[in-house]
Amino acid sequence: MMRYKKAIFLTLLCLLSAISSSGEITINARFNPAAIALGDRAQYIVEIIDSSDTSMPKPESVQSLPIPVVRELNLSNGRISNSSQTNYINGEGQFSNTQSLIFDVRINRPGSYTIPEFKFSYKGELQTVESASLSVLERGADAAPTQEEILLLDADLPESMYIGQSYNTTLNLYVESSHSLSGISGYERQADGYAMRELDLNAATESIQMIEDRRYRVLSWPLIVTPIRTGQQPIDFNFTVSVRSPQSRDPFTIRSPFGGGLLDNLVGRSEIFEVNTDSLLIEVKALPKLGQPDSFSGAIGDFNLQVYSDLQSIKVDEPIMLSVEISGRGNFERIQEPPIKKTPEWRSYTPEISFQAKDKLSLEGTKRFDYIFIPRQSGQLELPTISFSFLDPQTGEYTELISPPIKVEVSPNQAVQSSEISAPAEVLVTNKDDDGSLQLTRSLSPEEALLTLAYRQKQPPSYSTSILKSLNYYLGNLLAFITLLLLGLHLRKRRKLNSDPVYALQYAANKEFKKVFSASLKCKDITEFYQLALLSLRLAATRKTGINFRNATGDQIKELITDKTIQEISSEFFSTADAIHFSETSTIGDLKIARDQLQIVLKKL
């Protein structure tokens, strides 16, 4: 009986300790800011804070919230932001992870608006979101213009696309001409279902446009958007910009949103704004199965095919080049060399590939494949036909282009045949110069050269008896020195590996990194590539810090990078990897862009 009581006591003690060290979940909701003038922007933010005193909590992904509908209050551009924090107080750790769900608020009338309390399920428990209120005030007669009148951000994107289709567009930032753009301090995008090149903020082109009697300075960045996941895929962009307002002619002019006077109107004032594109859902369609030709390899766009050879007639065992040119507009990166059917008449080799772009984004141009063929037999032969197919995104239909046959006249190769038959003996005619030297009227065969009087055996080279004048002496000493040096370095490394655990960890990580990184560059499967790529990043972080980062998260890798632009690339890379790993549908990943992103992040590690 005492044994059972003791067991029950220990069980209760374990339960109490587990409860005391379990995580805590806190839910906050607010408008930021809580009061605005009509026409200004605000955000509705719901924060889910997971905290624990044992380890960093793992947040549960929240895809949607049952937010009550409030009349005339519109929420749009929903997005998620994650952050984590670790504090140590008196040797005890406090860990927290904050998941913020952010929505842009649009209001058309002044008044007070309240989103009432609501509930949702999180980690198997019903959580309560407290109510939040927003006050919208009338705008003063002399108030500053609204943010929508100062700044606009848009991207012209279609309503539907095919997976793997490359779409060329521009991201446009409009700045009202009476305000000046001081700088762009932040750029974000919500586009997990797409592959895009990193935006170069310094590559913008400028223009002037008139919108509703207002003059705007327009900064435009070229974009190529390629869907990698089917279904409804959201996409939106966000800039954090610094804008300087114009200097007022009257230093006492009312310029605040609510009509307050500002002394800094004397020199103008600089303000920080966040500007977003309207959230857009693009229907990403799977490639049609019906009517898909065998020659289709992923080309989407509008292309032409031209095939030609450099010769019309050749001899057996002489090479001829067959050039295949694919020109037009579309995703040239996905166009592979057309397969060649093997025939007994020809021997072919892997083609040489070249691409000549007609625009900066490489969406328009000509891709050329140069095949080398060598005939095995004589006669009138035909070079193998070339088949190439593509999907027209406008019609949703496949087009297959087949080259016409190219005839080549192949004649026997007399040089090859004569080399197999011994040449008849010829009379050797010689002349003598005035000095008596022998001159030949034709080149001699090796047998004839041995019989001529001009042939003399070479004298053997003389060798010095002094060892100090011998080249072999110095080469031998140099080789011995190099061997001893390498042996010393090897023993030093082994000693350090046995005595220094940090160096041993870095050495092992570096050795494994080389193998994994090389395998990722050769990998052609997008899912396997991201698995190898994430392991490469973690091994690179371990090699750099001497701390085991083999199970590190994307945020932990991000903290090792000081460059903010590279931090964004790293976060996007981990997000894309997670999206592909957990996606239930098949995806077509852009391996070239993913490899470029991997190499960019690795350079900072």
pLDDT tens-digit readout, 242-254? 998 775 544 444 4
> Range with the lowest mean pLDDT among 2-11, 213-222, 350-359?
2-11
Bridge-based pairing of strands 280-285 and 160-162 is parallel
Which pLDDT tens digit goes with each residue over 172-211? Answer: 999 998 888 988 988 888 888 898 888 888 889 999 999 8
Encoded tokens for 162? 């095919």
**Tokens describing residue 127:** 């959580």
Average pLDDT estimate for 567-581: 82
> Residue 599: pLDDT band by 50, 70, 90 thresholds?
confident
Q: Which of 486, 462, 464 is nearest to 473 (CA)?
A: 464
Residue 592 has pLDDT above 90, yes or no: no
Task: Provide the pLDDT for residue 427.
Answer: 43
Nearest C-alpha neighbor of 505 from the set 473, 480, 513, 301: 513
Rg of the chain on CA atoms, in Å: 37
pLDDT at 9: 52
Contacts of 192 (CB under 8 A, 6+ apart): 229, 233, 575, 576, 579
| Distance (Å, whole) CA 246 – CA 177 | 10
pLDDT score of 466: 59
Q: Residues 270-296: what's their mean pLDDT? A: 89
The DSSP letter of residue 254 is B
In this predicted structure, what is the pLDDT of residue 30? 94
Q: For residues 399-410, give the mean pLDDT.
A: 93
**Choice among 160-164, 264-268, 288-292, 424-428 with the minimum mean pLDDT:** 424-428
For residue 66, cis peptide bond before it (omega within 30 degrees of 0)? no
> Measured between alpha carbons, how far is residue 106 from residues 38, 39, 149, 280 in Å?
9, 8, 14, 16
Per-residue confidence at 322, pLDDT binned at 50, 70, 90? very high
Phi, psi at residue 23, to the nearest 5°?
-75, 165
pLDDT greater at residue 116 or residue 13: 116
Single out the residue of 271, 280, 300, 79 nearest to residue 171, CA to CA.
280
Model pLDDT, residue 245? 79
Contacts of 61 (CB under 8 A, 6+ apart): none
Q: Is 168 helix (H, G, I), strand (E, B) or coil?
A: strand
Specify the pLDDT at position 482.
92
pLDDT tens digits along 377-387? 999 999 999 99
The 3-state DSSP class for residue 356 equals: strand
Mean pLDDT of 207-225: 91
The yes-or-no verdict on residue 277 having pLDDT over 60 is yes
Q: How far apart are the first and last CA of the chain?
A: 61
Report, as an integer, the average pLDDT of 214-226.
92
Q: Which residue has the tokens 């008139």?
A: 210
Contact partners, residue 352, CB within 8 Å, separation at least 6 = 369, 370
Query: C-alpha 501: how far from its chain's center?
Result: 35
The pLDDT value given to residue 213: 84
φ and ψ at residue 285, rounded to 5 degrees? -95, 145
Checking if the pLDDT of 63 tops 60, the result is yes
As a whole number of angstroms, the distance between CA 442 and CA 250 comes to 103
Tell me: pLDDT of 452 over 50: no
Residue 469's pLDDT band, with cuts at 50, 70 and 90, is low
- pLDDT score of 426 more than 70: no
Question: Of 144-153, 353-362, 536-545, which gets the smallest average pLDDT?
Answer: 144-153
Q: Residue 439: what pLDDT?
A: 52
Task: Name the residue among 361, 414, 307 with its Cα closest to residue 167.
Answer: 361
- Out of 296-305, 307-316, 468-477, 505-514, least confident range: 468-477
Q: How far apart are CA 392 and CA 296, in angstroms?
A: 12
Average pLDDT, the chain: 81
Specify the pTM.
Answer: 0.51
DSSP letter at 335 equals P
Q: What is the pLDDT of residue 133?
A: 94
Q: What average pLDDT does this structure show over 298-306?
A: 95
For the stretch 85-90, contacts whose Cβ atoms lie closer than 8 Å and that sit 24 or more positions apart, written own/partner, are: 86/56
Contact 565, 198 (CB under 8 A): yes
For 417, other C-beta atoms within 10 Å of its C-beta total 10
Q: What is the DSSP letter of 10?
A: H
Q: pLDDT at position 11, please? A: 55
- The mean pLDDT of 276-286, rounded to a whole number, is 88
User: Strand pairing partners for 563?
Assistant: none
pLDDT in tens, 2-53: 555 555 555 555 544 444 445 789 999 999 889 988 878 788 999 999 888 8
CA–CA distance, 139 with 109 (Å, rounded to integer)? 11
* pLDDT recorded at residue 329: 94
Query: What is the three-class DSSP state of 351?
Result: coil
Per-residue confidence band for 465, with pLDDT thresholds at 50, 70 and 90: low
Per the DSSP assignment, residues forming a β-bridge with 281 are: 234
DSSP state of 497: H
Give the pLDDT of residue 415.
67
Whether residue 463 has pLDDT greater than 60: no
pLDDT band with cut points at 50, 70 and 90 for residue 419? low
Residue 375: how many other CB atoms lie within 10 Å: 22
pLDDT of the residue at 203: 86
Average the pLDDT over 70-80 and give the result.
83
The stretches of 122-162 forming alpha helices (DSSP H) are 147-150
132: part of which helix (H) or strand (E)? Answer: strand 132-137
- At 406 the pLDDT is 93
Tell me, what's the pLDDT at 420? 52
pLDDT of residue 468: 66
Three-class secondary structure of residue 198 per DSSP? coil
| DSSP class of 265 | G
CA angle 489, 492, 498 (to 5 degrees): 140
